[in-house]
Amino acid sequence: MSSPSTVVPIARPTLPPVEELQQRLAHILSGTELTNGAEVARFEGEAAEVLEAPHCVAVSSCTAGLMLVERCLSLRGAAVTPSFTFFATAHSLLWNGLRPVLADCDPTTFQIDPNSVRRVMTRGCSAIVGVHLFGCPAPIDELEKLAREAGVALIFDGAHALGARWQGESVAGRGDATVYSLSPTKQMTCGEGGLITTRHAELARDLRKARNYGKGEAYDCDLLGLNARMTEIQAAIARASLARLEAAIARRRYLADLYAKRLRDVPGVRLQRIPSAAVSSHKDFGVLVERGVDRDQLMRDLAADGIETRAYFDPPLHRQKLYRPYYRPQEEALRTTDAVSRHILCIPIHGAVTDEDAARIADRITELVGAQIARSMRTPMPLTAIPA
């Protein structure tokens, strides 16, 4: 088969023009302050304003940010987290010696299911680590209630959630902390980076120390930290990208609406449900194909047409070698996670996707799914209607 002449990539970083950065970079490179300096402080101040966050701490990645938040909150024992997520969410727990307790997801929003959290929450749990999946907020109110009742910390992995809102407010002030990612597939990037928001002044102070090895005023450590600093060059790129965040999200929202209009009534296809309280920042656009449609064949056919897709997150954590020992099917079978991860694919949604690309992608999915259903000569069965 001949390869397509143009490919729509699954992700493409949106970066500020070089000319805009030249002066700032020249200033940094002619100085002596290369990391964790004035530019990082400026970025934190601007990000706090844009994200409506009481405190904002820049770090080297979301993974490092999660590790440091969990360390600074002195978590012990276990923490509940969804199995349907990227592995970095749970890696941060293992790095802190915490046992991941895996919760199931909701079949319509794909978010962590609060009923499952309630079921798996054991006495040894000291935290819930929720994930704002694909840029749509997790069920924040229910998770806050669960965390309050159990007296545990609530952390959000907001890797996907830059710009996401819940009940009319930015998600940045909810829970004990939210950790965003600035890696290249995100709504804004500076190469690599992370951003922690929190309403607790004391936690923000500890995090500033922890990202710098744990070093305080004196050369006498009392906190186990990391080198998780952001460089001045990253901060300069991040500041210029931050100024474009709203436009980047608006474009993603426009594409998401375009996809939704064309795909929402297609037999065999289901889209992520966005709750009425939520404003998604559309890091990803997830399409669920129902039983009777071969997801992997669909991905291969789309690839042959120059449309890149990803099966986020397949396999889910409890099916991966590192996390299998933490899977307790007799306690929580994670059936919805299994079903969703086997049937989901993410399609391109970013600044380089044109209106024509999006229309073509939606139309090809409609045709290919339709052809599969016609071939199998049966009506697709909704995922929720049959037990896995």
Ligand X SMILES: Cc1ncc(COP(=O)(O)O)c(C=O)c1O
Residues of this chain that interact with ligand X (CB under 6 A) are: 61-63, 85-86, 88-89, 131, 157, 159-160, 181, 183, 194
- What the block records as the tokens of 193 is 């980076």
- Asked if 381 and 289 count as a contact pair (C-beta separation under 8 A), the reply is no
Strands annotated E in 236-306? 269-271, 278-279, 285-289
Q: How far apart are CA 101 and CA 122, in angstroms?
A: 9
Instruction: Give every strand in the sheet of 165-166, ordered side by side.
Output: 169-170, 165-166, 278-279
Whichever of 63 and 197 has its CB closer to ligand X, that residue is: 63
Whichever of 196 and 256 has its CB closer to ligand X, that residue is: 196
Whichever of 174 and 290 has its CB closer to ligand X, that residue is: 174
Burial of 218 (0-12, 13-18, 19+ CB in 10 A): exposed
In the complex, the smallest distance separating the C-beta of residue 66 from ligand X, rounded to whole angstroms, is 7
Coil vs helix vs strand at 166: strand
What type of residue sits at position 312?
Y
- Angle at CA of residue 128, ends 124 and 134, nearest 5°: 150
In terms of Cα–Cα distance, which of 287, 282, 284, 285 is closest to 250? 282
In the complex, the smallest distance separating the C-beta of residue 281 from ligand X, rounded to whole angstroms, is 13
Give bridge partners of residue 177 from the DSSP assignment.
155
Whichever of 258 and 317 has its CB closer to ligand X, that residue is: 317
In the complex, the smallest distance separating the C-beta of residue 343 from ligand X, rounded to whole angstroms, is 19
In the complex, the smallest distance separating the C-beta of residue 313 from ligand X, rounded to whole angstroms, is 8
In the complex, the smallest distance separating the C-beta of residue 194 from ligand X, rounded to whole angstroms, is 5
For 46-62, the DSSP string reads: HHHHHTT-SEEEEES-H
Whichever of 48 and 62 has its CB closer to ligand X, that residue is: 62
Whichever of 88 and 105 has its CB closer to ligand X, that residue is: 88
Whichever of 181 and 231 has its CB closer to ligand X, that residue is: 181
- What the block records as the tokens of 95 is 């790095």
In the complex, the smallest distance separating the C-beta of residue 132 from ligand X, rounded to whole angstroms, is 8
In the complex, the smallest distance separating the C-beta of residue 305 from ligand X, rounded to whole angstroms, is 26
* Torsions phi, psi for 203 (to 5 deg): -65, -40
